[in-house]
Amino acid sequence: MSAALPRPAIDAVLALLRPDLQAFAGYSSARSAALNGEVWLNANELAWANPADAAGTSRRYPEPQPSGLRAALADLYEVAPEQVLVGRGSDEAIDLLVRAFCRPGIDAVLATPPVFGMYAVSARLQGAPLLEVPLIETEAGLMVDIDAVIRSARDNAARLVFLCSPSNPAGSEIALADVVRTAQALQGQAVVVVDEAYIEFSSQASAATLLTGHDNVAVLRTLSKAHALAAARVGTLLAAAPLIAALRRCQAPYPVPTPCAELALAALQPAALAQTRARVAEVCQQRSALAQSLAALPGVRRVYPSAGNYLLVRFDDAQAAFEALLAAGVVVRDQRAAPQLYDALRISIGSADDNQRVLAALSARSAAA
């Protein structure tokens, strides 16, 4: 479990917050105060349950940060509960970070395209300058150019640097040593945010292990992918406790609905976690088999190595491949509008039957061509 950072380090990272938010108290909801009672008349809730809610469990506002879920997530990610912010998927955490750290027109957000589009969307909505350092094509795959990231961030007033590892859609990883190097180079200037939405499908250790010694590192995690709870919208930001407290003051009062929190907590019990680990292992096995089979098909230019639950694939004719899959009832992600990916599709790893359907559709297209 991560230890507390020294006070000077905490002061340094909090100084990166927007000046007008550094003393911001936020909204104090009816559930913010730790009060005890038997008759609750402080939140303007109805005294009777909705007819659709026989148990009456939904008439009360939820905990702003569900304590049981927060503790379970802290245990899962091996950090302290006060280092955990729970929200509506990773998307909310990204938006909170951009709004809290970036002054419109002044403080920049850096991303590494082709990559998850919400970094750019959040920057645009905040009016923050967007810096893009493209991934570079290598024998190992589409990789982050860490030296270029550091140079661009230093030269262009970056306040947030988003490093996606495993990268979506490229599937490539960023070594923890490179995360450390980036954080050290940008100490006192920027927060380095490592998006680990797909880390469960990787053999690499989490950047959460870096929180103790690096005050300007934050980590995004989610239950949407490996834990199969995409509809529950439960994501987590891991960071130094004072930074989490500051972001909590900027967050909406009740970010996690009670049914979603209860579902997530149930999914984090030992038996459910054991099943999740088994399914992750199966996905990794299927990923390897599908990659090998795709690479052998005519018309496939390249299958990129992947540490996620998907494969990025280049085709001689991506449009024909996309249409052939769709005709077979298989929907994949068309990546051709993304930088550098004019001929690429991203294929999520499904069940063995799903993956065979992909191969059959593409094989039939090749035979007909």
Residue 37 neighbours by CB distance under 10 Å? 7
Please calculate the CA angle 176-89-53 and round it to the nearest 5 degrees: 150
pLDDT above 90 for 2: no
Query: Taking Cα atoms as reference points, which of 338, 340, 360 lies closest to residue 294?
Result: 360
143 three-class SS: strand
Domains present along the chain, CATH in parentheses: 7-268 (3.40.640.10), 272-368 (3.90.1150.10)
pLDDT of 54 reads: 84
Spatial neighbors of 8 by CB under 8 A, at least 6 apart, are none
Give me the amino acid identity at 182: T
Query: pTM of the entire structure?
Result: 0.92
- Return the percentage of the chain with pLDDT > 90, whole number: 81
**104: which strand partners?**
none
CA 158 to mean position of chain CA atoms: 20
pLDDT one-digit tens code per residue, 91-144: 999 999 999 999 999 999 999 999 999 999 999 999 999 999 999 999 999 999
pLDDT digits (tens, 9 = 90+) for 178-210: 999 999 999 999 999 999 999 999 999 999 999
- The tens digit of pLDDT for each residue in 215-266 reads 999 999 999 999 999 999 999 999 999 999 999 999 988 899 999 999 999 9
Q: Directed axis angle between helix 241-248 and helix 89-101, to 10°?
A: 90
User: What average pLDDT does this structure show over 278-291?
Assistant: 98
Q: Give which of 92, 103, 109 is closest to 250, Cα–Cα.
A: 92
What pLDDT was estimated at residue 239? 96
Contact 227, 267 (CB under 8 A): yes
H/E element holding 192? strand 191-195
Examine the pLDDT at 289 and tell me if it is beyond 80. yes
Given a cut of 80, is residue 6 above it in pLDDT? no
SS (H, E, C) 313-357: EEECCHHHHHHHHHHCCCCCEECCCCCCCCCEEEEECCCHHHHHH
Q: 3-state class of 142 per DSSP?
A: strand
DSSP helix/strand/coil, 158: strand
**Helix 352-368 and helix 318-327: axis angle, to 10°?**
120
Query: What would the 3-class secondary structure string for 210-267 be?
Result: HCCCCCCEEEEEECCCCCCCHHHCCEEEECCHHHHHHHHCCCCCCCCCHHHHHHHHHH
Residue 3 scores a pLDDT above 80: no
